[in-house]
């Protein structure tokens, strides 16, 4: 029988129903709060069936149902079968991090001067046409849209896009490759489409070589109104274009059955054209950024 190294007793404000033997509940919670490999079991995650088996294997009970285990865990708000990805930051969540976050927050939320623009930019890579072996069938009464399982591969395209954070307008560059040349082509389109009265164009994008290479720096030296602003490392969620990419994937690429790259390009351009006809901005608030910073501060305190 395992010995508890932590206090797994039920908190006073979360009493276990009377039909749960206290020692059974204590051990069930302890098992749920440990990795299966640490208990000598070759499992990725615990579930109610496996915890019930473990309680029997360790001699805690002679018999227990998975439903009983579920009710025990539910009383402690535990769901060990769920998982959530997180990232141990490679850069410290310090004052420099907070300053970078607040800079992005300021560009997203403050009223802009008439001669300012804030544009979020990034790439959606490796978009495949995937032509199907049979034509996709539209829905019919009592039948969903039917998509042929078999498809062919015929290359891929990359979408480089920029979005005006105040209007939602999208600029795009669609190309077989993504290099500094293609990124400069996107910047040139934004430059040509922005009135000369706009003296400062802030481009929010990640700090990869494609965005900061020699060719890009040379272009920026000739176009002084452009300023690149980089969110902190591993904070791509701060780039609003990612939100738009999510809409693109959900509305246009849930079914990929384009005949070839030319057809894919035409349909992608049509989607962006239709979006720009009714473009809208996304609502980001300063309060949201402050919540992020507060979470970072608590994480630093917990690690200390």
Q: What is the pLDDT of residues 11-54, one digit of tens each?
A: 544 544 455 678 889 999 999 999 999 988 999 999 999 999 99
Biggest distance spanned by C-alpha atoms of the chain: 80
**Cα torsion angle, 49, 54, 56, 60, sign:** negative
Partnered with residue 140 across adjacent β-strands are 143
Taken in order of first residue, the domains within the chain and their CATH numbers are: 1-84 (no CATH), 95-298 (3.30.420.10)
Query: Along the chain (304 residues), what's the average pLDDT of each consecutive run of 10 residues?
Result: 49 52 89 92 95 93 92 93 76 78 92 96 95 91 92 94 97 96 97 96 93 95 96 86 96 93 96 97 88 70 57
Positive or negative, the CA dihedral 42, 46, 50, 54 is: positive
- The reported pTM is 0.77
pLDDT at 155: 94
Give residue 3's pLDDT. 44
Whole-number Cα distances in Å, 50 to 33, 61, 62, 109? 13, 14, 15, 49
Give the 3-state secondary structure of the chain.
CCCCCCCCCCCCCCCCCCCCCHHHHHHHHHHHCCCHHHHCCCCCCCCHHHHHHHHHHCCCCCCCCHHHHHHHHHHCCCCCCCCCCCCCCCCCCCHHHHHHHHHHHHHHHCCCCCCEEEEEEEEEEEECCCCECCCCECCECCECCECCCCECCCCCEEEEEEEECCCCCEEEEEECCCCHHHHHHHHHHHHHHCCCCCCEEEEECCCCHHHHCHHHHHHHHHCCCEEEECCCCCCHHHCHHHHHHHHHHHHHCCCCCCCCHHHHHHHHHHHHHHHHHCCCCCCCCHHHHHHHHHHHHHHHHHHC
Task: Tell me the β-bridge partners of 228.
Answer: 203
- Look-up: residue for tokens 């410290």? 92
Rounded distance between C-alpha atoms, residue 214 and residue 232, angstroms: 22
Can you say how many angstroms the Cα of residue 51 is from the centroid of all Cα atoms in its chain? 32
pLDDT of res. 4: 44
Over residues 229-254, the pLDDT tens digits come to: 999 888 888 899 999 999 999 999 99
Backbone φ, ψ for residue 162 (5° rounding): -130, 140
Gap between the Cα atoms of 36 and 52, Å rounded? 13
Angle between helix axes 95-109 and 286-303 (nearest 10 degrees) is 170
Closest of 266, 294, 259 to residue 93, by C-alpha: 294
How many other C-beta atoms are found inside a 10 Å radius of the C-beta of residue 128? Answer: 17
pLDDT at site 235: 82
């Amino acid at each position: 029988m395992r010995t508890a190294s932590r206090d797994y007793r039920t908190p006073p404000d979360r009493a276990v129903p009377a039909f749960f033997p206290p020692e059974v509940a204590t051990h069930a919670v302890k098992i749920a709060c440990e990795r299966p490999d640490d208990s000598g079991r070759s499992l990725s995650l615990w579930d109610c069936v496996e915890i019930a088996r473990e309680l029997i294997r360790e001699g805690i009970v002679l018999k227990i149902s998975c439903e009983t285990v579920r009710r025990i865990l539910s009383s402690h708000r535990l769901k060990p079968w769920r998982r959530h990805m997180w990232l141990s930051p490679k850069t410290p969540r310090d004052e420099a991090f907070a300053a970078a976050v607040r800079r992005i927050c300021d560009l997203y939320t403050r009223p802009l001067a008439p001669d300012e623009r804030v544009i979020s930019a990034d790439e959606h890579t490796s978009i495949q046409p995937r032509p199907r072996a049979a034509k996709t069938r539209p829905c019919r009464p009592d039948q969903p849209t039917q998509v042929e399982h078999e498809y062919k591969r015929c290359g891929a395209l990359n979408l480089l896009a920029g979005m005006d954070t105040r209007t939602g307008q999208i600029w795009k560059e669609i190309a077989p490759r993504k290099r500094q040349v293609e990124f400069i082509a996107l910047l040139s389109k934004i430059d040509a489409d922005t009135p000369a009265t706009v003296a400062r164009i802030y481009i929010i994008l990640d700090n990869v070589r494609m965005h900061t290479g020699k060719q890009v720096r040379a272009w920026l030296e000739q176009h002084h109104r452009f300023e690149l602003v980089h969110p902190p490392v591993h904070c791509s969620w701060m780039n609003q274009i990612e939100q738009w990419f999510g809409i693109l994937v959900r509305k246009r690429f849930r079914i990929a059955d384009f005949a070839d790259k030319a057809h894919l390009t035409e349909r992608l351009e049509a989607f962006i054209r239709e979006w720009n006809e009714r473009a809208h901005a996304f609502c980001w608030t300063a309060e949201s950024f402050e919540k992020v910073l507060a979470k970072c501060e608590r994480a630093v305190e917990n690690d200390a």
